[in-house]
Amino acid sequence: MTSAGAPERTTTRGGGTLYRGDLGMWSWVAHRITGVLTFFFLFTHVLDTALVRVSPNAYDAVIETYKNPIVNLFEVGLVGAVLYHALNGIRVMLVDFWEKGAKYQRVMLWTVLAVWVVVMIPGFYFMMERTISDLVGGH
């Protein structure tokens, strides 16, 4: 966890190196926030899935809430959070284990963000397709 934002090589005007307030720090902040949020969701998610052990009706009733338009939007947020955490986690591993990782950490962060956008655009479409057509078409 501690190396999630490896020390930067960015040179400041004073000639020192900058970590605090720079991109690497924010990637670490985002990694923590997305990780903690996902862990809290996981707690809820195991509880709702456990309802399959109670009865099919109980499970289906609770799963219906996941199909609500607002909750559906939160699911896009969850997928976005997990996707960032996964991609940035790969970046952290490369920084730790690849000899050139620290040198390219900044390029890798922009790559993470680019891949995230490229995946999330069709992801948003496929996740919200049914909800949007129901809201617009009404059938």
Partner 1 sequence: MSLALDKPRSPKRPAARRGNGELYSWLFMRLSGLLLVVLVLGHLFIMNILDGGVHKINFGFVAGRWASPFWQFWDLAMLWLAQIHGGNGVRTVINDYARKDSTRFWLKMLLYVSMVLIIALGTFVIFTFDPNISN
**Rounded least distance, CB 6 to partner 1, Å:** 13
Q: Where does this chain touch partner 1 (CB under 8 A) — which range of 5-13, 21-29, 34-42, 110-118?
A: 34-42
Q: Which stretch binds partner 1 (CB under 8 A): 5-13, 21-29, 77-85, 107-115?
A: 77-85
The two structure tokens encoding residue 36: 């903690």
DSSP code of residue 24: H
Told to check if 137 binds partner 1 by CB under 8 A, we report no
Q: Applying CB under 8 A, does 111 fall inside the site for partner 1?
A: no
Helix (H, G, I), strand (E, B) or coil at 89: helix
Rounded Cα–Cα distance for residues 87 and 90 (Å)? 5
Write down the least CB distance from residue 39 to partner 1, Å: 4
With a CB cutoff of 8 Å and minimum separation 6, the contacts of 133 are: none
